[in-house]
């Protein structure tokens, strides 16, 4: 089944479309104000072989095409803007304490398609310049709290306009490290740990995504810093915002983010992953040459957030994409359609 038993949407299709825009507009303003981010225009595709595109876990293949009027130069549809944003901050000469955000639209054809995954990814991609002394866990947590409070403000204002949409989030988010979670739940898989923690706390920031043998889950070696040892003895200056979805009775990741690699962390993580050849790529050369500022950044899923705040059971209720015939049939039997 793609939907919980006895599930019925709280909003009609017309109300849903209006609420999607309300949710996006409200959260975007809250995020921009909380983190001091200016909106910028971002690319849909980047040159292949430049190192600018995000290769996620290193196995996902991007959609590519050749440009006739550029002598057949190969381009790739972005999978995320993790690296492009940092390059943009350097080229736009953004000062510490300020940053940028953009509407990212990406294709990830190798992703799963289910109730919370689509091959079409839409998110607010953001990046902020920080001072070298702010590369620490306290600054990361401070930023996470700002984002979480923006989500809480959005939930409150939606409930004001749509009284059936009750806010289910706790007042504050809880911080847990992946190494700490593995010690507490040694017999559970990483996904089961996330579910247990989200159910227990309502909202959790799981620190250290990408570190370990095996890691809690995958993270590319060249944007988030997941290997630096912190003062508590754990590793990682990155993580995921995960909430408890009361509609699906399951955990739901809303955002991945982190303090980005400096030169030392980049080399260390490339070595850990056996990808030292990336040092010769355009983007990586610029970082190693000291051309990029220290930054923190991440992505916040637009459809995921709308799905959660509007109490939807399937991302296809708030996003137009391709879905299995079985999912469409099940939705139709419950009296609504997937976009």
| Residues 6+ positions from 224 with CB-CB distance below 8 Å | 82, 209, 210, 237, 238, 256, 257, 258, 259, 260, 261
DSSP state of 49: T
Catalytic residue, candidates 32, 123, 255, 269: 123
Catalytic residue, candidates 86, 108, 193, 260: 108
Of 126, 160, 166, the closest CA to residue 144 belongs to 126
| Angstrom distances, CA of residue 78 to CA of 51, 53, 62, 218 | 11, 6, 7, 18
Catalytic (active site) residue 256: yes
Consecutive H or E run containing 99: strand 99-107
Query: Cα angle at 245 between 6 and 301, to 5 degrees?
Result: 120
Contact 222, 53 (CB under 8 A): no
Catalytic (active site) residue 79: no
> How does DSSP assign 247-307, residue by residue?
TTTEEEEEEEEEEBP-HHHHHHHHHHHT-GGGGGSHHHHHHHTT-SPPEEEEEEEHHHHHH
Contact 301, 122 (CB under 8 A): yes
Query: Cα angle at 234 between 231 and 238, to 5 degrees?
Result: 95
CA dihedral of 84, 89, 92, 93, whole degrees rounded to 10: -150
Catalytic residue, candidates 55, 240, 245, 317: 240
Catalytic residue, candidates 28, 30, 32, 54: 54
Catalytic (active site) residue 253: yes
DSSP state of 181: H
Catalytic residue, candidates 256, 302, 303, 319: 256
What residues are labeled active site? 54, 108, 123, 240, 253, 256
């Amino acid at each position: 089944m793609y939907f919980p038993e006895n599930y019925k949407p709280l909003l009609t299709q017309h109300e849903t479309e209006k609420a999607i825009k309300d949710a996006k507009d409200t959260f975007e303003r809250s995020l921009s104000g909380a983190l001091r981010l200016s909106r910028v225009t971002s690319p849909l595709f980047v040159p292949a072989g430049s190192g600018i595109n995000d290769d996620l876990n290193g196995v996902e293949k991007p959609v590519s095409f050749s440009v006739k009027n550029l002598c057949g130069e190969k381009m790739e549809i972005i999978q995320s803007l993790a690296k492009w944003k940092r390059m943009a901050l350097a080229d736009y000469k953004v000062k510490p304490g300020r940053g940028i955000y953009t509407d990212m639209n990406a294709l990830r054809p190798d992703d799963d398609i289910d109730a919370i995954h689509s091959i079409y990814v839409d998110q607010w991609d953001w990046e902020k310049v920080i001072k070298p002394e702010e590369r620490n866990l306290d600054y990361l947590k401070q930023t996470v709290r700002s984002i979480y409070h923006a989500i809480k403000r959005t939930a409150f204002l939606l409930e004001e306009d749509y009284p059936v949409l009750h806010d289910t989030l706790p007042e504050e988010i809880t911080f847990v490290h992946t190494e700490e979670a593995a010690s507490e739940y040694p017999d559970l898989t990483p996904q089961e740990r996330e579910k247990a923690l989200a159910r227990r706390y309502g909202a959790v920031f799981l620190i250290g995504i990408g570190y370990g043998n095996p890691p809690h889950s995958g993270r590319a070696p060249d944007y988030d810093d997941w290997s630096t040892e912190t003062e508590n003895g754990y590793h990682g200056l990155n993580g995921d915002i995960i909430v408890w979805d009361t509609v699906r009775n399951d955990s739901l990741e809303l955002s991945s983010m982190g303090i980005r690699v400096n030169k030392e962390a980049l080399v260390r993580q490339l070595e850990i992953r056996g990808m030292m050849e990336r040092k010769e790529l355009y983007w990586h050369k610029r970082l190693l040459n000291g051309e990029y500022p220290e930054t923190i950044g991440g992505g916040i899923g637009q459809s995921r957030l709308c799905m959660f705040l509007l109490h939807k059971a399937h991302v296809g209720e708030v996003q137009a994409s391709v879905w299995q015939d079985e999912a469409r049939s099940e939705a139709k039997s419950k009296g609504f359609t997937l976009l």
